[in-house]
Structure 1
């Protein structure tokens, strides 16, 4: 029997899971990742925290599983930027997290210059602080002599997976995969290569960029956990979740509910351009054959529940929100628009900020909890509408995963808002499983996509139940709240 170690480095935690060749989790280790907010709208991580947590959780999971590891897969929070010195692997600045808004003014300037249509055609993305390029340019400008050192080839750029791979291989490998490269604003997703003109536009020296490979690929080996183990799979977290959910056919869709919510629809070999401010993104590339997806990105989902717990003390545990939402008959007209770090698709408003509407003296903590859950459903429905407007067929079902998907009330509300069945797998750690699948494909643990699809096991199905009039009333209230939140 073969065993894969999946490293899942996320925004708020780092976890490691050992899977067997039946896609069953044998051991899991997880630790929370500290967040740093040095200024309003800024979000940073300490790269050394990420590295230490990665080693610690991997070693713990391997020890608990007690089995030899065949290969390692890595999945990661996307767009988060690290720049490090090639001589010692030490970062020259804290990691700037995908949620960070510090480059909003730069993005506005670029848009006013009229370059966004060209950028969007080549990258499938919008110009927004969310993506990596402006963060990278900011570091090169902010750190003394960084730009000159980058031009001389002394500095390396990477998103989290590249940094971890560099460290795991002792500095021998500086590479990434197509799904992470495709989120930088520097990669032409159709030509499938770094774009020199985009690099000049964002003032990024090409000497600091990693090589780009398929998702299932022998990237390098590490000896930090005993005998050498191949690192054979890498994918950005949302693409890894799509893969782990076995959404291999065009028209299949998944939504992952973690810190944010990300809905991806498989569009096959066609890179579908969106007229509704969705993203066109690589889903995965196997044996040189690219599969694309349409993506809608919601910046805050589980982060709103974390704010209820840590920010204002409404709950002590995320699991409480299920009972709180269930114990009240309706939402009492209370709506939360969780624009704590701006709004993502389809609005793309970096200056919007979170708001709660409809409060009366009859509103309780339960209404706040329910409003946070409902906001996830409304935002997902907005994304689904945008995908249909772009010509995509309504998916036959929505596969869901991530920590919030354990909440039955939320899953039922999603089904009611989307008006399609919501399918929840037996195991919700599909992001880590997707990384394991890629590593297993590259090392022969699984023979192909059909073999992977046979491992997917349905846990629960939530069918739409809400009456149409009630649904329409709720959505109308949500749209009014969003209009009142937008910055322009």
Structure 2
């Protein structure tokens, strides 16, 4: 039986998805499912690892049925995942000892403050490429080990395992035979030396993290093991793995240095391929894009904590819309926001501000402000935050950004894409396939399993749906962005200034 399909397991921050692609990169079957967000206290965000695992298995079975393909026809699996989110589990029972601490969570901020006070920020930046922050996995590991009685001692004895969600899935799908991750996910832990391509022993010692819990990091198109036959009806090799944003960069065929994309998912993430040399910019992180065929590519990255999640908040908490797609209709009923700015710093501000204590705000409200103005302000916030990142990329004049490739669920919104082009003053390019995280994981698995022979062959599959060109006057662009910058200033350090805010 010909093995001509690739299956991508896309584990996101709010839900799981499985997509099956044919050898041309076309979608032949998919299934999705949301999972519960756990908020134990303001600023904390956690997930149930067992729910994530079971949900991913269920949607994978559904996708296989909907694609009408035999499991034996699936050549390989590629995995992509919400990065940084941390799971620690029992090596024997396979049960998590605590909830997964989400990348969004602020519960480890005090640990990070101590590390900053200890003078570790520069060393961490130099070795890992990252800005010291509670966002990354490093502070989540000791938090769990110290919160769960006896956990630290068990970890030091080698009885517990750590992983980001990709590692958690791989370990379970292979029946506990593979405790692995890839370079891209390892580089987001704040423990991995991106120059030496290894866990940094000195950092782990200073951060009090037992190295026995860490997984093996390999190429993104490497051999991550084989699934148990009983899960999906056949043993299927796992031959691709990358963090969601690096996978999206790969899916966008940004294979050459200088090529970049912005993903509008739960978070908003701008990633630029910098080739075989790491590039450092103030306010941004330097990371590993992927390891393919034994060669590592680096990336420059800017992350916005709350991007598409802003729209979810308008829908689920404020009840201003019924579906995410409603933002385009309601937003288009007004010519602009009427002077309203919504800064979605719900869990602090990430790049380029790195403020763990900023909190969200809506400002500029008048007696004439309507529901639609607030919805439009929420939509515009996604574009403003992207401009913040790109300004950090170009501010020293060494890099030029001439266009922006976009992906993620939110880019189906024409109003957003046009405003993004207007506020940046450059073309915004939307491809035909916008679920790039899954496609990137599929491409990596296809390369690893030999379905595709090279990145040149993959690049031929990329196709444009629509190009949005700027029509806004420069003066209007400057005035609107100045207002946004002033609004952001008001959110800075709020949770520290006001004792009733956590």
Question: TM-score if structure 1 supplies the norm length?
Answer: 0.99
SS at structure 2 position matched to 1:75: strand
SS at structure 2 position matched to 1:132: coil
- 1:426-466 CA distance string (max 9 Å, x none): 11111000000000000111011100100111111101111
Q: Report whether the alignment pairs 1:181 with 2:183.
A: no
Offset of 1:113 from its aligned partner? Answer: 1.7
Q: What aligned pairs does 1:112-261 form with structure 2 within 5 A after superposition?
A: 112-222=117-227, 223=229, 224-261=231-268
Aligned to 1:35: 37
Change in CA separation of 1:32 and 1:390 when aligned onto 2, cut-off 3 Å? farther
Which of 425, 430, 434 lines up with 1:428 in the alignment?
434
Q: Give the distance between the partners of 1:300 and 1:422, measured in 2 at CA.
A: 21
Q: Give the distance between the partners of 1:265 and 1:191, measured in 2 at CA.
A: 21
Offset of 1:106 from its aligned partner? Answer: 1.4
- 1:335-385 CA distance string (max 9 Å, x none): 001000100000011111100000011011111111011111111011001
Which of 369, 377, 400 lines up with 1:371 in the alignment?
377
Counterpart contact for 1:34–1:45, Cα < 8 Å: yes
Aligned to 2:327: 321
Q: Report whether the alignment pairs 1:416 with 2:418.
A: no
Which of 360, 364, 384 lines up with 1:358 in the alignment?
364
Q: Give the distance between the partners of 2:204 and 2:438, measured in 1 at CA.
A: 31
Structure 2: gaps spanning 5 or more residues: 495-502
Q: Report whether the alignment pairs 1:439 with 2:445.
A: yes
Aligned to 1:396: 402
Offset of 1:237 from its aligned partner? Answer: 0.3
Aligned to 1:91: 96
Q: Report whether the alignment pairs 1:272 with 2:274.
A: no
Aligned to 1:9: 11
Counterpart contact for 1:251–1:392, Cα < 8 Å: no
Q: Give the distance between the partners of 2:336 and 2:83, measured in 1 at CA.
A: 36
- 1:7-32 CA distance string (max 9 Å, x none): 00000110000000100011110001
Identify which range, 194-203 or 163-172, moves more after superposition: 194-203
Q: Give the distance between the partners of 2:275 and 2:93, measured in 1 at CA.
A: 41
Change in CA separation of 1:175 and 1:402 when aligned onto 2, cut-off 3 Å? same
Counterpart contact for 2:105–2:135, Cα < 8 Å: yes
Counterpart contact for 1:412–1:464, Cα < 8 Å: yes
Offset of 1:390 from its aligned partner? Answer: 5.0
**Off by >3 Å, runs of 4+ in structure 1:** none
Q: Give the distance between the partners of 1:328 and 1:469, measured in 2 at CA.
A: 20
Counterpart contact for 1:335–1:481, Cα < 8 Å: yes
Counterpart contact for 1:72–1:436, Cα < 8 Å: yes
Counterpart contact for 1:252–1:396, Cα < 8 Å: no
SS at structure 2 position matched to 1:133: coil
Q: What RMSD over aligned residues (CA atoms) do the two structures have, in Å?
A: 1.0
Q: Report whether the alignment pairs 1:64 with 2:66.
A: yes
Question: TM-score if structure 2 supplies the norm length?
Answer: 0.96
- 1:82-127 CA distance string (max 9 Å, x none): 0001102110000000000011111112112211001100000011
Q: What aligned pairs does 1:98-113 form with structure 2 within 5 A after superposition?
A: 98-113=103-118
Offset of 1:391 from its aligned partner? Answer: 4.9
- 1:237-275 CA distance string (max 9 Å, x none): 00000000001111111000011100001111110112x
- 1:286-340 CA distance string (max 9 Å, x none): 1221111110000001111111111111111111111122111222110001000
Change in CA separation of 1:391 and 1:192 when aligned onto 2, cut-off 3 Å? farther
Q: Give the distance between the partners of 1:88 and 1:436, measured in 2 at CA.
A: 31
Aligned to 2:475: 469
Q: Give the distance between the partners of 1:358 and 1:14, measured in 2 at CA.
A: 37
Number of residue pairs matched by the alignment: 487
Counterpart contact for 2:286–2:298, Cα < 8 Å: yes
Offset of 1:394 from its aligned partner? Answer: 2.2
Q: Give the distance between the partners of 1:476 and 1:277, measured in 2 at CA.
A: 19
Q: Give the distance between the partners of 2:206 and 2:314, measured in 1 at CA.
A: 40
Identify which range, 387-396 or 435-444, moves more after superposition: 387-396
- 1:156-205 CA distance string (max 9 Å, x none): 00000000000000000100000100011110001110000111122111
Identify which range, 322-331 or 460-469, moves more after superposition: 322-331
Counterpart contact for 1:231–1:439, Cα < 8 Å: yes
Counterpart contact for 1:123–1:182, Cα < 8 Å: yes
Q: Give the distance between the partners of 2:143 and 2:398, measured in 1 at CA.
A: 37
Q: Give the distance between the partners of 2:317 and 2:413, measured in 1 at CA.
A: 21
Q: Give the distance between the partners of 1:28 and 1:335, measured in 2 at CA.
A: 37
Counterpart contact for 2:394–2:401, Cα < 8 Å: no
Q: Give the distance between the partners of 1:40 and 1:86, measured in 2 at CA.
A: 31
